Amino acid sequence: MSRPSALGSFARGVGASISKPYLAVALWLIQLALAAVLVLPLGNALHTLLDRDPSSDRMVARPDYGWWETVTRVHPDVLGALPEAVTSLLSPEGLRSSQVSTLRGAGAAAVGLGALAVILHAFALGGLLGTLREPQASLVTFGREGLRRLPAFLAFTLAAVAGALTAYRWLFVETGAVMARRGLELATETQVLLITLGRLLLLGIALAAIKLLVDSVRSIWVARPDLPPVSRFLAGVGAALGRPLRLLGVLALWGVSIAGLYGLWLFLDPSAGGEARLALLPLIATQQVFVFLRCLLKVGYYAAVSEVLTRAPAPEYAYLPRPEGAASAAPAEPPTPDSPPDAASV
Amino acid sequence: MFPAKRAVLALALAGTSAAGLAATPAATTAPRLADPVASYQIVCRLDPEKRTVEGSLQLTWKNTTARPAPTLRFHLYLNAFRNTLSTFRQESESARRHTTIPDSWGAIDLSRLTLSDGTDLLARLAYISPDDGNPHDRTVAEVSLPRAVAPGETIALSADFVSRLPRVSVRTGWKDAFFLVAQWFPKIGVLTDAGWKCAQFHANSEFFADFGDYDVSLEVPAAYRGKVAATGVLAEERPGADGRLLLRFRQSSVHDFAWAADPDFLVFEETFREPGSSDVALRLFLQPEHRAQKERHFHAARVALTGLSRLLGPYPHPTLSIVDPPWGARGANGMEYPTLITAGTRRFAPTAGHSPEQVTVHETVHQYFQGMVGSNEVEEPWLDEGITVYVTERILAEAYGNPRPILDVFGWRGTLGIEMHRPLDTSRSAFGPLARGAVASPSMAFSSREAYGAVVYRKAALALATLERLAGREVMDRALRLYFERWRFRHPSSADFVAAFEEAAGADWSFFFDRTIFQDGALDYAVTEAATAPAESPRGVLGDGGEPVAPTARRGFDSDVRVERRGTIALPVEVVLRFEGGRVFRDRWDGQGLWKRYRFGGWPRLIDAVVDPEGKLLLDLDRTNNGLRTRPDARAAARWTARSLFWTQNLLDFLTVAW
């Protein structure tokens, strides 16, 4: 059997995603619900500030830098120091914990939302990977599988978050602090920029490795319920180490396709030009179609990773009606969530 | 100077002494534009290994005051870098001007100071700290003279000195083979009828000096051939001993002399021509990694000189050198010295950012306000920085467009299409909490570099832009020209600027200057109520008795508008009320009271009310409260809410990408 290429895997993953569009719909709904938590207070604040402002006419078509600057300065309760916190993420000093305490309003809500997003991400991936292995599945399968995998997937996700933050701290913030002291002694800014590029590349590689490792563990966790948990975890790590280039290839293809999607969005720029370009409802529809397409690609990526790691996608255990004659072999009780499937269903 | 070193220097500079050079044929130089008060002949030698400049100078100084001068005061600026106890280091704490101050010590030591008759003054020299009494600060020295200098009398002094340069952190010093030699020689203070103006070297302060003629001979290693930028005109260049190079620069009617050298400089030259002006040799000393920005620097210098020539008058000096400090020497960026400025750029400087352009134009404007109009940068820094920012913004707006996109990559303006408006958007830092204090405050009055910049640069510029919009650009231009012509090569004060403006305007504008320049305060006008409803007839018991009258409909609408002054600064402001059918009501409110109410009965329906509709009051802290419409329009908020939703969804996805 020939090894599937990264491109082939990614293409088949996207195909699988398209064949089960409710997975992308589920992701889209989760993100929409999460974003609504933040956008509702922000939208109310915007209506309060803009609806009776005669100068809001010009804000329909294009942003007014002065207006936004004034709002963030005069109404710190709306965003708090969120823009500063976001920009400091890529500063040599990095994001300081003291900055979190300066957040107010939507800025503070965004941090809470981020934490909630991590948990829901763990749930969604459990549902997604479980559902991808079911030949006949539905949104119900997604919810069931998501909840079933949540404890383990949450642990993996939090470990990955901790790993990513550690990588950020030591590969970006700490090296940035060293560069802040020594970089000025280099001969040219070009040298400093190259070193910074190297730091970013290193961070990117570390984050990619963490991501591929945790995605591999997740995939094997779902694909090999016959193994004890520790073995499943180790098999996941081993699978990632066994196929690093193909996994990296799938990740790169996903990144390129997402970048292409954003490039297209920025080129077409549906938000610009105000109502002359798109009325409000068509604009919202266009935006949400974009988000849905992005979710579709995301599901495709996970399907591709699952395929690269398990080669032959098969249901973990079937919920299909058993063939006649096999009834006597059926267990008296349905399988417990993490019990291994019986031989007939594999 | 130690005898051995002195002998070496004498040998090295053989035939190049101040007296010797004075006898050489007259070099190309501009005619004298000002009566010299403090003139210098300096002969010096750069030792790149030791990072020292050893020199001898002859100072000719005239007492232009009406009282005798029994003492002289000198700036010894480099002593600010002598140790951590200096006033500069104490005020700086640990960092300023973009970079941490390294422990690289600089100093200036005098080894000889004599009068022209040989009378030794060194023994009479004492370090003083007139600003803060810091006993460890050695940036000002006072010399008591054996005989007071009479009013109108001119004396000559000689001095030998060694300047040890620090690693560049603030304005002056070295980085590898690059040298920016500024504030480097013993420099006499300014004597006024009120006494000496000779401030210590402070963290936020710049400088103040008398005008004079400079004749400076430099000896540098041959590696610096063609790579030395300096104040004035290169009058002579010839080989020296040991393969070194002797350069002589001369410039009259300036108040300082600075020079820079770097063997890595790429040197370009072009001629600036403007009708009615003499040609100016523009010389650009660029770092190799900024080679692609050559034309941007030249273009910025050209538009600055063109704008200044037309606004104020011709640039009178024959040269203008633009020095690009190397990476790691950003502390030397963005400084102005007579006929020499330092640029400020990065390896990648997007064209939309106008970063090198802004610095080059700003420092070129300083050639007029500070270089020629010699205000006291220590006591009234707004007079050069505030006016310079104001004029810079005007030149940039005319040359590069206004508003301009904030992001422009090869013509693509980005999905947000955000634009910056000059001068308001670029001076917003003036509205931050740091912007406390009157504009016309001394530089030492500010608690931090940021506060100093917000008030002296930005708030001052916004005040002047507001003044221009209230009085009219013609009046403003006339005032600037009058101020410049009257005070070039002299030392004006804030009162002199006000007087020039009022003379140009032909009116008393003290109300404006008192509230925006000489006092601290905030300006904020707001429309706090705008309501309109169908008009009703009177109701209740009308007249002397009888039954109450029920309301009946009348034609038109009753409208009610209230505007408020929320800040402490009161300025006249226009109020505009728009009604349906194109009817408009305009009022010029004097802005003195805390509020004013407008009531209209039987008019068409009120659409909106706006205070300061043309945005003249650029000092207004909060322009989002400057208007109210009677009927809400949710279009803008809805679209921005949709955008917020969209990008929040995207950010949430990015958040989970890594795990």
ipTM: 0.87
Q: Which residues of B touch A295 (CB under 8 A)?
A: 653
Does residue B14 surpass a pLDDT of 50? no
Cβ-based neighbour number of residue B616 at 10 Å? 18
> Cβ–Cβ of B624/A67 closer than 8 Å?
yes
Taking each helix axis from N to C end, the angle separating B635-655 and A21-50, rounded to the nearest 10 degrees, works out to: 140
Q: Is residue B299 exposed (0-12), middle (13-18) or buried (19+ Cβ within 10 Å)?
A: middle
Q: How far is A344 from chain B (nearest CA, A)?
A: 35
Q: How far is B289 from chain A (nearest CA, A)?
A: 7
Chain A residue with Cα closest to B577: A54
Q: How confident is the model at residue B402 (pLDDT cuts 50, 70, 90)?
A: confident
Pair A240, A212: CB distance under 8 Å:
yes
The set of residues, in sequence order, having a beta carbon less than 8 Å from that of B632 and lying 6+ positions away, is A47, A51, A52
* Residue closest to B104 by CA, chosen among B91, B119, B89: B89
Pair A302, A13: CB distance under 8 Å:
yes
Q: How confident is the model at residue B417 (pLDDT cuts 50, 70, 90)?
A: low
Q: How many CB pairs under 8 A join A and B?
A: 192
> Cβ–Cβ of A66/B100 closer than 8 Å?
no
Q: How far is A141 from chain B (nearest CA, A)?
A: 22
Residue B130 carries which DSSP code? T
> Cβ–Cβ of A52/B421 closer than 8 Å?
no
Q: Is residue A53 exposed (0-12), middle (13-18) or buried (19+ Cβ within 10 Å)?
A: buried
A292 has which bridge partners?
none
Q: DSSP labels for A21-62?
A: HHHHHHHHHHHHHHHHHHHHHHHHHHHHHHTT-GGGHHHHHS
Tokens of A16: 């699988």
Q: Which of A172, A184, A215 to mutate: most B Cβ within 10 Å?
A: A184
pLDDT (0 to 100) of residue B506: 97
Chain B residue with Cα closest to A212: B659
Residue in A43, A52, A275 nearest the CB of B629:
A52
At B335-385, the pLDDT tens digits run 999 999 999 999 988 887 788 999 999 999 999 999 999 999 999 999 999
Give A 72-101 residues with CB within 8 A of chain B.
Answer: 73-74
pLDDT (0 to 100) of residue B414: 54
User: Is beta strand B340-342 parallel, antiparallel or unpaired with respect to B319-323?
Assistant: parallel
Give A 55-74 residues with CB within 8 A of chain B.
Answer: 55-57, 59-60, 62-63, 65-67, 69-71, 73-74
> C-alpha angle B152/B158/B160, rounded to 5°?
150
pLDDT (0 to 100) of residue B413: 55
Give A 12-31 residues with CB within 8 A of chain B.
Answer: 31
pLDDT (0 to 100) of residue B33: 87
**B349 touching chain A per CB within 8 A:** no
Q: How far is B649 from chain A (nearest CA, A)?
A: 6
pLDDT (0 to 100) of residue A92: 67
Q: Which residues of A touch B563 (CB under 8 A)?
A: none
Go through chain A and tell me how many residues it has.
Answer: 346
**B19 touching chain A per CB within 8 A:** no
Half-sphere exposure of B605 (CA within 13 A, CB side): 7
pLDDT (0 to 100) of residue B603: 94
Residue in A52, A271, A295 nearest the CB of B643:
A271
Q: How far is A234 from chain B (nearest CA, A)?
A: 18
Tens-digit pLDDT string for chain A (346 aa) = 456 789 999 999 999 999 999 999 999 999 999 999 889 988 999 999 999 999 898 888 777 888 888 888 888 877 777 777 777 777 767 777 777 777 777 778 888 888 889 899 999 999 999 999 888 888 899 999 999 999 999 999 999 999 999 999 999 889 988 888 889 899 999 999 999 999 999 999 999 999 999 999 999 999 998 999 999 999 999 999 999 999 999 999 999 999 999 999 988 888 777 777 889 999 999 999 999 999 999 999 999 999 998 865 444 444 444 455 444 444 444 444 444 444 333 3
Residue A340 carries which DSSP code? P
**B642 touching chain A per CB within 8 A:** yes
Q: Which residues of B touch A66 (CB under 8 A)?
A: 421, 424-425, 428, 623
Q: Which of B355, B639, B653 to mutate: most A Cβ within 10 Å?
A: B639
**B4 touching chain A per CB within 8 A:** no
Q: Which residues of A touch B418 (CB under 8 A)?
A: 63, 65
Q: How far is A206 from chain B (nearest CA, A)?
A: 10
> Cβ–Cβ of B347/A70 closer than 8 Å?
no
> Cβ–Cβ of A46/B640 closer than 8 Å?
yes
The CA distance from B528 to B624, in Å, is 11
Rounded to an integer, the average pLDDT of B309-331 is: 96
Which residue type, as a one-letter code, is found at position B506? G
pLDDT averaged over every residue in chain B: 91
% of chain B at pLDDT higher than 70: 92
> Cβ–Cβ of A271/B639 closer than 8 Å?
yes
pLDDT (0 to 100) of residue A317: 47
The CA distance from A170 to A178, in Å, is 11
Q: How far is B646 from chain A (nearest CA, A)?
A: 6
Q: DSSP labels for B295-314?
A: HHHHHHHHHHHHHHHHHT--
Give A 158-187 residues with CB within 8 A of chain B.
Answer: 160-161, 163-164, 180-181, 183-187
Chain A residue with Cα closest to B412: A267
**B327 touching chain A per CB within 8 A:** yes
Helix/strand/coil (H/E/C) assignment for every residue in A91-160: CCCCCCHHHHCCCCHHHHHHHHHHHHHHHHHHHHHHHHHHHHCCCCCCHHHHHHHHHHHHHHHHHHHHHH
Tokens of B185: 């020689």
Residue B231 carries which DSSP code? S
Chain A residue with Cα closest to B175: A185
pLDDT (0 to 100) of residue A296: 96
**B323 touching chain A per CB within 8 A:** no
Half-sphere exposure of B302 (CA within 13 A, CB side): 14
pLDDT (0 to 100) of residue B18: 40
Give B 403-442 residues with CB within 8 A of chain A.
Answer: 406, 414-421, 424-425, 428, 431-432
Does residue B38 surpass a pLDDT of 90? yes
Q: Which of A27, A40, A49, A56 to mutate: most B Cβ within 10 Å?
A: A56
The CA distance from A47 to B394, in Å, is 35
pLDDT (0 to 100) of residue A68: 84
Rounded to an integer, the average pLDDT of B383-392 is: 97
Q: How confident is the model at residue B554 (pLDDT cuts 50, 70, 90)?
A: confident
* Residue closest to B386 by CA, chosen among B443, B332, B425: B443
**B635 touching chain A per CB within 8 A:** yes
> Cβ–Cβ of A192/B632 closer than 8 Å?
no
pLDDT (0 to 100) of residue B411: 57
Does residue B170 surpass a pLDDT of 80? yes
Pair B648, A69: CB distance under 8 Å:
no
Residue in A188, A283, A290 nearest the CB of B327:
A188
Residue in B328, B417, B610 nearest the CB of A62:
B417
Chain B residue with Cα closest to A40: B641
**B462 touching chain A per CB within 8 A:** no
> Cβ–Cβ of A65/B425 closer than 8 Å?
yes
pLDDT (0 to 100) of residue A107: 79
Cis peptide leading into B403, omega within 30 of 0? yes
**B640 touching chain A per CB within 8 A:** yes
